[in-house]
Amino acid sequence: MKAILIRQTGGPEQMKLEETPTPAPASGQVLVKIASAGVNFIDVYFRTGLYKADLPFTPGMEAAGIVEAAGEGVTGFSKGDRVAYAMTRGSYAEYAVVPAASLVAVPEGLDLAAAASVMLQGMTAHYLTHSTFPLQKGQTALVHAAAGGAGALIVQIAKMLGARVIGTAGSAAKAERARAMGADECIVYTEQDFEAETRRLTDSKGVDVVYDSVGASTFLKSVNCLRPRGMMVTFGNASGPVPAIEPLLLGQKGSLFLTRPSLAQYCLTREELLWRAGDVLRWVASGSLKQHVFKTYPLADAGQAHRDLEGRGTQGKLLLSA
Ligand code: NDP
């Protein structure tokens, strides 16, 4: 089969399309013929070496496709089933072996690309808004990179829950998309001071929660946007990892809560996975949750997809077609 291999961490040029043996599913695993693989920022972290993986490896943490073969002991999935998954590495390939416990069925009528486009970012938006800081009607959330893959989904789900959403985005065009996704306001944080704007928009009260995936460049100002006892959710490093802070800072800024969550710990059981994926896929199938597909690249152009994602020029989702 063809697969992207990373033999050395570094820039996008380290991702090369190679011919490798098609893997066989071991006990409890399923071999999936990939139709569509999602591109996520976490793939960049593995490629650069910020997140560690044994070399060589095939990147990609999300896909949808058709079951080709089921390993010993697998029940519930068989050849021909339409499935989707997130958080098993190796989806930048024509085939991938995936634990059966991580697979979900794609609802009838939902195409595989649409399913692949929301598994990782959609379940992330779900856990952030339903579990990390369960948003309630009338609360206000600040969502950074609100036109991005994860950001636009957080905006929409926060609105479903009745929250007020202040977004940030890197350009006027992105801010427009964030508003079209339901953001009540969107600050162009490359031109305006988002801390001052957020204070103004909340009559100096501050927001209940900040969902911050940008990391290094926004963290400290985000903390200043919170109300007393608000929650700082730092869940990504698009601009670089957040530097160390003293716990005292959280006291000085208003008895704040700080968490650094990951999707894996919010899908600890099969029930939790089925809850989140079930909600997200059902909302997408019904049209109540929208994921804009920015571009679909051939597998061989995975490097270009990373350049585009890191270059801040994208809105919504990037996909690879196998
Ligand atoms: P996005 O589509 O959101 O792309 C990243 C966006 O970040 C850019 O478009 C850009 O938007 C913004 N950004 C701000 N500063 C920079 C910078 N210096 N370099 C690059 N981008 C920058 O990507 P994803 O939806 O895939 O991921 C968004 C974030 O969410 C990532 O940090 C990712 O790691 C995190 N994440 C975390 C998960 C978890 O469970 N912890 C799970 C899923 C995603 P703009 O121009 O508008 O600022």
Instruction: CATH number of the domain at 162, please.
Output: 3.40.50.720
Same domain? For 206 and 224 the reply is yes
| Cα(317) to centroid(ligand 1), Å | 11
Q: Within a domain: residue 314? A: yes
- For residue 291, give the CATH number of its domain: 3.90.180.10
Residue 319: what residue type? L
| Cα(41) to centroid(ligand 1), Å | 6
Same domain? For 180 and 106 the reply is no
pLDDT at residue 250 tops 90: yes
Q: Within a domain: residue 100? A: yes
Q: What is the pLDDT of residues 190-203, one digit of tens each?
A: 999 999 999 999 99
At 298, the pLDDT band (50, 70, 90 cuts) reads very high
- For residue 222, the model assigns a pLDDT of 98
How many domains in the chain? 2
Expressed in angstroms, the distance from the first to the final Cα of the chain is 10
Q: Within a domain: residue 169? A: yes
Tokens read off for 49: 């070496």
Residue nearest to atom 36 of ligand 1 (CA): 236
Q: Residues 242-263: what's their mean pLDDT? A: 97
Give how far Cα 49 sits from Cα of 10, 42, 54, 56, Å: 7, 11, 10, 12
- The strand pair at 164-169 and 140-143 is best described as parallel
- The strand pair at 104-105 and 62-70 is best described as unpaired
| Cα(55) to centroid(ligand 1), Å | 25
Of all atoms in ligand 1, which is nearest to the CA of residue 313? 9
Instruction: Give the residue among 170, 161, 187, 176 at the shortest CA–CA distance from 289.
Output: 161
Give how far Cα 150 sits from Cα of 59, 120, 123, 173, Å: 19, 8, 9, 17
What whole-number distance in Å separates Cα of residue 148 and Cα of residue 309?
9
Same domain? For 106 and 159 the reply is no
pLDDT at residue 60 tops 90: yes
Residue nearest to atom 43 of ligand 1 (CA): 121
Q: Is the CB of 295 under 6 A from ligand 1?
A: no
Q: Residues 210-220: what's their mean pLDDT? A: 98
Domain boundary among 260, 291, 308: 260
Q: Is the CB of 291 under 6 A from ligand 1?
A: no
At 322, the pLDDT band (50, 70, 90 cuts) reads confident
pTM above 0.85, yes or no: yes
Question: Using CB atoms within 10 A of its CB, is residue 228 exposed (0-12), middle (13-18) or buried (19+)?
Answer: exposed
